[in-house]
A and B are shown apart, each in its own frame.
Chain A
Amino acid sequence: MIPLSHVLILSLILFTLGAAGFIIRRNVITIFMCIELMLNAVNLAFIGFARHRGNLDGQLFVFFVIVVAAAEAAVGLAIIVALYRNRNSLAIDDVDSMKM
Chain B
Amino acid sequence: MEILLLLMLLPPLAGAALNGIFGRRFSQGLVSAIGCGGSGLAMVFALLAAFTSHLGPDSPPFVHSYFTWIAAGGFHTDFAVYYDRLTLVMTVVVTVVAFLIHLYSRGYMEHEGGYYRFFCYLNLFLFMMLMLVTGASYPVMFVGWEGVGLCSYLLIGFYFPKKSASDAGKKAFIVTRIGDAGFTVGVALLFWTFGTVNFPELFSKVGALPLGDHQQTLTAASLLLFLGAVGKSAQLPLYVWLPDAMEGPTPVSALIHAATMVTAGVYMVARSNVLFAHAPEALKVVAAVGCLTAFFAATIALCQNDLKRMLAYSTISQLGYMFVGCGTAVFASGIFHLMTHACFKALLFLAAGSVMHAMSGQLDMRAMGGLRHKMPTTYWTFLVATLAISGVPGLAGFFSKDEILAAAYNGPLGSPWLYWLATITAGLTAFYMFRGLFLTFCGKSRVDHELEHHVHESGSKMTVPLMILAVFSILAGWVSLPKALGGGEAFDRFLEPVFGASERLLSSSSAIAPHAANDLMLMVASLVAAGLGILIAYWFYLKSTELPDRLASSLSGAYRTLVNKYWVDEFYNWLIVHPVVVGSTRFLWQSVDTGVIDGAVNGSAEATADLGRVLRQMQSGNIRSYAAWVLLGAVGWLGYLLLR
Contacts and interface: CB of A to CB of B under 8 A. Distances in A.
7 contacts: A23-B624, A23-B631, A92-B624, A93-B624, A96-B623, A99-B622, A100-B621
A95 interface: yes
Interface in A1-36: 19, 22-24, 26
Given A19-B631, A99-B622, 10 more contacts: A23-B624, A24-B624, A92-B624, A93-B622, A93-B623, A93-B624, A96-B620, A96-B622, A98-B621, A99-B620
Contacts of B616: 100
A97 interface: yes
Interface residues of A, number: 13
Interface in A71-100: 92-93, 95-100
B204 interface: no
B627 A99 contact: no
Which 9 pairs, one residue from A and one from B, show the smallest C-beta to C-beta distance? A99-B621, A96-B621, A100-B616, A23-B628, A92-B623, A22-B627, A23-B624, A98-B621, A99-B620
Interface of A: 19, 22-24, 26, 92-93, 95-100
Interface residues of B, number: 10
Nearest to B617: A100
Mostly, the B contact residues are helix
Nearest to A34: B627
B619 interface: yes
Contacts of A96: 620-623
Contacts, number: 29
Interface of B: 616, 619-624, 627-628, 631
B624 to A, nearest CB: 5
A100 B618 CA distance: 10
A19 B629 CA distance: 12
A25 to B, nearest CB: 8
Contacts of B628: 23
A94 B51 CA distance: 102
Contacts of B622: 93, 96, 99
A19 B622 CA distance: 16
Contacts of A92: 623-624
Contacts of A100: 616, 619, 621
A79 to B, nearest CB: 12
Nearest to B624: A23
Nearest to B620: A99
A97 B628 CA distance: 18
A3 to B, nearest CB: 21
B507 to A, nearest CB: 92
A97 B621 contact: yes
A99 B624 contact: no
Contacts of B627: 22-23
Nearest to A24: B624
B580 to A, nearest CB: 51
